[in-house]
Amino acid sequence: MRDLLKECLSEENGLVELRYHHKENRSFFAEKGRIESSALRKRSGVGIRVLHNGTWGFASTGEVSKASIQNAIRIAKQAATVSSSLRGEKISNLPPALFAKGDFIGKGIEDFRNRSVEEKLNLVLDVQNKALKSSASLQSVGCGYSEIYEEKAIVTTDGADSFFSMVRPEFRVNAVASDKGKLESGSHSIGVTGGWDCLFRDKKPEDISDEACKTAIDLLTSSLPDGGLATVILSPSIVGLLVHEAIGHTVEADFVLAGSVAQGKIGTRVGSDLVSLADSGVSEYSDGAGGTIPVDDEGVIPQKTMIIQDGILKSYLHNRETAHKFNVAPTGSARAWEYSDVPLIRMRNTYLLPGNSSLEEMIAGTKNGYFLDGAKNGQADATGEFMFAVQKAYKIENGKITKLLKGATVSGLAFDVLQNVDMVSKEFKWDLGSGHCGKGQPAKVDAGGPYVRTKVQLGGN
């Protein structure tokens, strides 16, 4: 495929970027003792970008042939010519980049290929049936498995020449428990970059199901926490949600240029000395993070980007265009969901770096507070203001975890929460690899980190 793309570029002048993308999505979902849905989708094509007359032109084709690709290049140039007159600020140049060259074959692909459809169907059916029979309190249990396999070849006239492949499987269980008309839910999901051995490395499918079901049942007898400013210990799942939604998006350079809270803050303090935050295309600390990519969609090798170092904001996330505007190197953060999508600045794996405390020390040193675990949903905006729902909140009294509470929400300003961090654990976990991040188009990402003690506004009674 790389040879075909290079042949299509052999007579081109200026910057032309060709991105071949083949993607396969398969999913199964079981509920009520049967397979409720099963889907398989495959698509392939080439996305073409050209830098022409000071602006970008984009076109795509689902026909992977020399004639079709060259025709799409002509269409992209025509689009750039038309839009150039409407663009106030022309793109004069793009900075040099560390381009990927060669083949990058992901882990777990053979494992993925060797697993039969029947094995995947039986997985969700067996786990769902066993879970539903485990307790009379369970009203329903749903179990799903999905996977994305993709191949990309990226060739540009200024140096990129790469091919890579990867597989990303996910597994999830949702449970609903009931008692005297009261309903509570519990869920647990995991997603990785790699094969089944990576997906179920830390927990077996049955363990994931047991955790979701136990949460739903235990919440039936729980009560609401007291609302107000509270000392909390955030689990890696909540830390991951915070750093991705409330901080990561604000440092994507296109959002910065649009006026996010991070604008103009490079070199200023945004967190305590204990806070260091990074985003990386590599799975740091342990294999399998769900946002891992060997090459970004401009053909650049993704760099580990230190966004915050010891509480000081150090960097934004960049594609080549914004890197030129800020006079810095590209961070390898340009990503596109389909061949027909234009690459956008996106996170990969976003995380807080671990510290020196242990979780046990953090709990023992908390006289009155809460331990929060299990990210549910929420929202954040360009100001860094956020509100997230938490699946489980445990009361901490005199250095000990006591009772389970429900219905908790956390809110605040992200940089204020980072300023209040006073303990960071040695333990580290990726915990946001399932599902997708949305920003005009989906993206597979991951986030996580250590356990963190800070202060937030807790919603409850």
pLDDT digits (tens, 9 = 90+) for 241-254: 999 999 999 999 99
**Distant-in-sequence, close-in-space partners of 349: CB < 8 Å, separation ≥ 6:** 279, 280, 281, 282, 283, 284, 289, 290, 291, 292, 430, 445, 446, 447
Kindly state whether residues 205 and 236 are assigned to the same domain: no
Kindly state whether residues 209 and 307 are assigned to the same domain: no
Kindly state whether residues 190 and 251 are assigned to the same domain: no
pLDDT for the residue 329: 95
Instruction: Supply the pTM of this predicted model.
Output: 0.96
- Core vs surface per residue 25-50: b (16+ CB within 10 A) or e: ebbbbbbeeeeeeeeeeeebbbbbbb
Tens digit of pLDDT for each residue in 364-396? 999 999 999 998 877 899 999 999 999 999 999
Tens digit of pLDDT for each residue in 74-111? 999 999 999 988 888 899 889 999 999 999 999 999 98
- Any idea what the CATH number is for the domain that residue 109 is in? 3.30.2290.10
Kindly state whether residues 208 and 254 are assigned to the same domain: no
Q: Is the per-residue pLDDT at 303 higher than 90? A: no
Kindly state whether residues 301 and 334 are assigned to the same domain: yes
Paired sense of beta strands 182-191 and 161-179, if any: antiparallel
The rounded distance, in Å, linking the Cα atoms of 325 and 376 is: 37
Kindly state whether residues 155 and 245 are assigned to the same domain: no
The rounded distance, in Å, linking the Cα atoms of 199 and 288 is: 8
Kindly state whether residues 360 and 444 are assigned to the same domain: yes
Q: Which of 219, 248, 268 is the last residue of a domain?
A: 219
- Per-residue pLDDT band for 421 (boundaries 50, 70, 90) equals very high
Closest by CA to 76, choosing from 95, 97, 54, 49, is 49
Query: What are residue 428's phi and psi, to 5 degrees?
Result: -140, 145
> Residue 146: which domain range?
2-219
Q: Which of 219, 237, 260 is the last residue of a domain?
A: 219
Kindly state whether residues 215 and 251 are assigned to the same domain: no
Tens digit of pLDDT for each residue in 194-226? 999 999 999 999 999 999 999 999 999 999 999
Kindly state whether residues 122 and 84 are assigned to the same domain: yes
Q: Which of 185, 219, 253 is the last residue of a domain?
A: 219
Kindly state whether residues 299 and 437 are assigned to the same domain: yes
* pLDDT over 70 percentage in the chain: 100
Kindly state whether residues 382 and 404 are assigned to the same domain: yes
Kindly state whether residues 209 and 261 are assigned to the same domain: no
Tens digit of pLDDT for each residue in 340-351? 999 999 999 999
Tens digit of pLDDT for each residue in 308-326? 999 999 999 999 999 999 9
Domain count, the chain: 2
pLDDT for the residue 13: 87
